[in-house]
């Protein structure tokens, strides 16, 4: 019972969306299609019984049910095959369009496909069922209801379009609110960082006033960019790199020769819009890993490159790596936060990977789809 | 006799700043070492036995709190922190000396004045304060372990915690000493503390947890360091200064 239920739960996720990868096994998807078809069958049969004033005629209902349900299951199967084929064969960009804002063209697409599927299903059921002996006794024959099905199909697509549009807008609002909240969390200044930086400035004022000035400048730059970024939906990649650059420069002034870093980015990518403050928490983690337990010099390497349709941002450190037990608690919060932000904005198309980077250290990789031109 | 102190901070500018301010506020205090991380601090404290140790809390290697848990000699601890909400609450509650970063000369002077008067005393009050603060910061255990699982080659042993005399950190492993055998596990002391019933298992040192049920008593050596002894077992374990007060109350 439980594995079955779990598989169905998985299948239910985004069942009505187009996805290249599904968590649920294929049989669960088929089972769910069967259940949905059954629900449609029951609903339509009830509707026809009510409209035909035959709802109290049990014999009629029993006679109608087998061919009727057989047809709905066939239509369901056609839907399943057609949409699975679209999912598999169509380019991701097309699926994004179909899953995106339910504009008139998207509604027309779904309406047309749905009607084609219903038509194909009905044709199939006529071919198959029409020849089964005994079926001729049934009052309901597919070809008689052709027009009512077409009308119902148009009616359903319009309803679906309106409903989907409403849903889509609500989801956008929810997503924006959530995104703003997560961004705010990531922009929070860690008190340790703040007070230790101030302590360094305070100390350098006495010993090395020019260095105190440099540190204060880096701190100001970092604060300014992070505050502006916090309010933006997207920022140019350049800005994001600038932000972590200021942060690393500051940490280097604090830590001395213990920290070195490099930032390399393809100049063509610098103006690409990216969600703000995704890189900063990864760099903070790298600093903590790199300098937390390792007493010797730490190095942080940041890279931005294009790989096919993806923008790939990577942060590599030469610290303790992922296998050692973590001393600092709450490390997972930042990465969880990033994953949620990516999922709400890009769905499955963006990823955050954390892996060990031999000979030692951690490699964090962000994969974000390039914006469609 | 001039007093000797150690400073431990992983950020060089901050260590230097503290040293400079101490020179101003307490000229006769001699800074004998500056440690760049927790392990170095623990090692230098054990070697040099300074009168005072100024320990930053967030350091690589060992945290300042862990360094304090391992002090066996008479060294008094002053914690230095940029921001540790819970630690500061615990220090306040235990009336323990601590400094906040960025350091301010006036506050340091007040701290120095207090240290000057209290360093003349026996030091047991300060140990008790440190013990109370560390106690308050100890993790709360909700579901204590009843068994420890240790593997030895192809065999695994299920050890009832009641049979365990003590846990002792030994390089990369933790030694689990029972009435009869010795086992090695990989769980560090800091994680075990979070899983053992605090009624019967006491941490007495950064590197050891003892089972009170098997305790035979204590012994004090010539340098007034305290050791715990166990029934039917020869090895004694040192008690760090912070935890000495707990045994006095027994």
Give the whole-angstrom CA distance, residue A331 versus residue A237: 24
pLDDT for A69 = 83
Q: Which of A295, A318, A319 to mutate to test the interface with B (most CBs of B within 10 A)?
A: A295
The DSSP letter of residue B221 is -
Q: In order of start, what are the domains of chain A with their CATH numbers?
A: 2-180 (no CATH), 188-369 (3.30.565.10)
- Judging contacts by C-beta atoms under 8 Å, the chain A residues touching residue B60 are 291-295
Query: What whole-number distance in Å separates Cα of residue B69 and Cα of residue B137?
Result: 12
CATH code at B109? 3.40.50.2300
Domain count of the fold of chain B: 2
The answer to whether the beta carbons of residues A310 and A274 sit under 8 Å apart is no
Residue B97: what pLDDT? Answer: 85
The pLDDT value recorded for residue A294 is 62
Phi and psi of A69, rounded to 5°?
-65, -35
* pLDDT (mean) for A151-155: 75
Residues B19 and B130 placed together within one structural domain of the fold:
yes
Best of A195, A202, A203, A214 to disrupt the B interface (most B CBs within 10 Å) is A203
Query: In this complex, which of B11, B58, B61 lies closest to A295 when CB atoms are compared?
Result: B61
Q: B220: which 2 tokens? A: 């004090």
Q: Are residues B13 and B92 in the same domain?
A: yes
pLDDT at A133: 43
Q: How confident is the model at residue A135 (pLDDT cuts 50, 70, 90)?
A: very low
Q: What value does the mean pLDDT take over residues A307-320?
A: 90
pLDDT of residue B129: 86
Query: Are B202 and B240 in the same domain?
Result: yes
Beta bridge partners of B80: B56, B99
pLDDT at res. A331: 59
Confidence check: pLDDT of A132 > 50: no
Q: What is the pLDDT of residue A307?
A: 92
Distance (Å) from the alpha carbon of A157 to chain B's nearest alpha carbon: 56
Report the pLDDT averaged over residues A63-72: 80
**Of the residues B137, B156, B182, which one is the last residue of a structural domain?**
B137
Within-domain flag for B239: yes
DSSP secondary structure string for all residues of A185-245? HHHPPPHHHHHHHHHHHHHHHHH-HHHHHHHHHHHHHHHHHHHHHHT-S-EEHHHHHHHHH
Return the closest-CA partner of residue B72 out of B237, B249, B202, B246: B237
Same domain, B102 and B158: no
- Judgement on whether residues B82 and B152 belong to the same structural domain of the protein: no
Q: Looking at B112, B137, B162, which one is the last position of a domain?
A: B137
| Over residues A319-333, mean pLDDT | 64
B169 and B131 co-located in one domain: no
Please report residues of A whose CB lies closer than 8 A to that of B37: 295
Shared domain check, B185 and B224? yes
CB contact under 8 A, B11 and A202: no
Residues B118 and B151 in one domain: no
What does the pLDDT look like over B123-159, one tens digit per residue? 778 888 888 888 888 888 888 999 999 888 888 989 9
CATH code of the domain covering residue B170: 2.40.50.1020
CB contact under 8 A, A196 and B14: yes
Minimal Cβ distance to B82: which of A192, A255, A325: A192
Question: How much is the pLDDT for A1?
Answer: 58
Beta bridge partners of B183: B176
Same structural domain, B8 and B119:
yes
State mean pLDDT over A208-237: 93
φ/ψ (deg, to 5) at A95: -60, -40
* The last residue of a domain, from among B88, B112, B137: B137
Provide the number of CB pairs (under 8 Å) joining chain A to chain B. Answer: 67
* Residue B54 forms part of a structural domain: yes
Contacts of A59 (CB under 8 A, 6+ apart): none
Which ranges constitute the DSSP H helices of B94-240? Answer: 105-119, 124-137, 189-193
- pLDDT at res. A139: 54
Give the sign of the dihedral formed by CA A163, CA A166, CA A169, CA A171: negative
Q: Specify if B201 maps to a domain.
A: yes
State how beta strands B98-100 and B76-81 pair.
Answer: parallel
Same structural domain, B124 and B65: yes
How much of chain B exceeds pLDDT 90, in percent? 57
Which has more pLDDT, A342 or A66?
A342
Interface of B with A in 63-92 (CB under 8 A): 63, 82-84
Range of the domain at B206: 147-248
Residue A61 pLDDT exceeds 90:
no
B185 touching A, CB under 8 A?
A: no
- What is the overall mean pLDDT for chain A? 84
In a domain, B217, yes or no: yes
Give yes or no for B147 touching A (CB within 8 A). Answer: no
- Residue with token string 């889509």: A168
Q: φ and ψ at B141, to 5 degrees?
A: -100, 120
**For range B35-41, the mean pLDDT:** 93
- The rounded distance, in Å, linking the Cα atoms of A237 and A273 is 6
The verdict on residue B125 lying in a domain is yes
Residue B12 touches chain A, beta carbons under 8 Å: yes
Q: Which residue do the tokens 């369009």 mark?
A: A97
For chain A, say whether B139 makes contact (Cβ under 8 Å).
Answer: no
Does the pLDDT at position A116 exceed 90? Answer: no
Query: Does residue B241 belong to any structural domain of this protein?
Result: yes
pLDDT tens, residue by residue, B189-229:
988 999 999 889 999 999 999 999 999 999 988 888 899 99
Is the CB of residue B57 less than 8 Å from the CB of residue B87?
A: yes
What's residue A324's pLDDT?
61
Task: Clarify whether residues B10 and B129 are in a common domain.
Answer: yes
Q: Write down the ipTM of this complex.
A: 0.83
Question: Do residue B237 and residue B163 come from a single domain?
Answer: yes
Task: Give SS3 for A90.
Answer: coil
* pLDDT over 70 at A56, yes or no: yes
Q: What is the pLDDT of residue A141?
A: 54
A203 and B13: CB-CB below 8 Å? yes
Taking an 8 Å cut-off on Cβ atoms, the answer to whether A202 and B102 are in contact is yes
pLDDT surpassing 60 at residue A138? no
Confidence of residue A146 (pLDDT cuts 50, 70, 90): low
**Within a domain: B43:** yes
Q: Are B14 and A255 in contact (CB under 8 A)?
A: no
Confidence of residue B6 (pLDDT cuts 50, 70, 90): very high
- B142 occurs within a structural domain: no
């Amino acid at each position: 019972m439980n594995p079955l239920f779990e598989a169905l739960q998985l299948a239910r996720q985004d069942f009505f969306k187009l996805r290249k990868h599904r968590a649920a096994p294929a049989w669960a998807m088929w089972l769910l299609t069967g259940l949905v078809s059954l629900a449609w069958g029951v609903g339509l049969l009830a509707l026809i019984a009510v409209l035909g004033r035959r709802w109290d005629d049990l014999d009629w209902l029993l006679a109608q049910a087998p061919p009727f349900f057989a047809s709905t299951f066939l239509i369901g199967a056609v839907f399943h095959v057609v949409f699975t084929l679209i999912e598999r064969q169509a380019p991701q960009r097309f699926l994004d369009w179909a899953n995106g804002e339910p504009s008139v063209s998207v509604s027309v697409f779904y309406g047309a496909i749905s009607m084609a599927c219903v038509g194909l299903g009905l044709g199939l059921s006529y071919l198959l069922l029409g020849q089964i002996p005994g079926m001729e006794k049934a009052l309901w024959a597919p070809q008689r209801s052709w027009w009512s099905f077409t009308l119902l199909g148009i009616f359903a697509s319009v309803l679906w379009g309106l409903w989907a549009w409403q849903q889509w807008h609500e989801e956008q609002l929810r997503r924006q609110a959530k995104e703003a909240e997560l961004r705010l969390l990531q922009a929070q200044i860690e008190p340790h960082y703040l007070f230790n930086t101030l302590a360094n400035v305070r100390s350098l004022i006495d010993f090395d006033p020019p260095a105190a000035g440099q540190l204060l400048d880096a701190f100001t730059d970092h604060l300014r960019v992070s505050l502006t970024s916090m309010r933006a939906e997207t920022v140019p990649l350049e800005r994001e790199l600038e932000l972590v650059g200021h942060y690393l420069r500051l940490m280097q002034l604090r830590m001395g020769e213990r920290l070195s870093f490099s930032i390399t980015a393809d100049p063509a990518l610098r103006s690409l819009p990216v969600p703000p403050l995704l890189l900063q928490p990864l760099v903070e983690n790298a600093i903590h890993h790199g300098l937390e337990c390792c007493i010797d010099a730490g190095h942080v390497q940041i890279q931005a490159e294009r790989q096919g349709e993806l923008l790939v941002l990577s942060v590599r450190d030469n610290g303790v790596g992922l296998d050692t037990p973590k001393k600092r608690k709450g490390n997972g919060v930042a990465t969880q936060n990033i994953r949620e932000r990516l999922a709400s904005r890009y769905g499955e198309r963006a990823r955050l990977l954390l892996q060990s980077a031999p000979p030692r250290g951690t490699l964090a990789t962000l994969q974000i789809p390039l914006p469609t031109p | 006799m001039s007093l000797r102190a150690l400073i431990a901070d992983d950020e060089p500018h901050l260590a230097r700043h503290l040293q400079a301010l101490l020179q101003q506020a307490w000229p006769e205090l001699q800074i004998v070492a500056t440690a760049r991380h927790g392990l170095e601090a623990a090692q230098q404290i054990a070697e040099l036995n300074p009168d005072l140790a100024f320990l930053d809390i967030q350091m690589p290697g060992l945290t300042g709190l862990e360094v304090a848990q391992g002090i066996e000699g008479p060294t008094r601890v002053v914690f230095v922190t940029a921001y540790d909400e819970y630690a500061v609450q615990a220090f306040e509650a235990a009336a323990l000396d601590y400094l906040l970063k960025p350091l301010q000369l006036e506050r340091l002077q007040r701290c120095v004045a207090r240290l000057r008067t209290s360093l003349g005393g026996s030091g047991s009050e300060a140990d008790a304060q440190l013990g109370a603060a560390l106690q308050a910061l100890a993790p709360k255990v909700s579901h204590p372990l009843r068994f420890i699982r240790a593997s030895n080659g192809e065999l695994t042993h299920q050890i009832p915690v009641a049979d365990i005399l003590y846990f002792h950190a030994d390089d990369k492993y933790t030694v689990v000493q029972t009435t009869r055998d010795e086992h090695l596990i990989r769980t560090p002391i800091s994680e075990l503390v979070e899983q053992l019933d605090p009624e019967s298992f006491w941490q007495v040192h950064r590197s050891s947890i003892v089972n009170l049920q098997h305790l035979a008593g204590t012994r004090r050596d010539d340098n007034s360091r305290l050791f715990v002894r166990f029934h039917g077992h020869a090895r004694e374990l040192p008690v760090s200064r912070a935890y000495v007060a707990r045994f006095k109350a027994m």
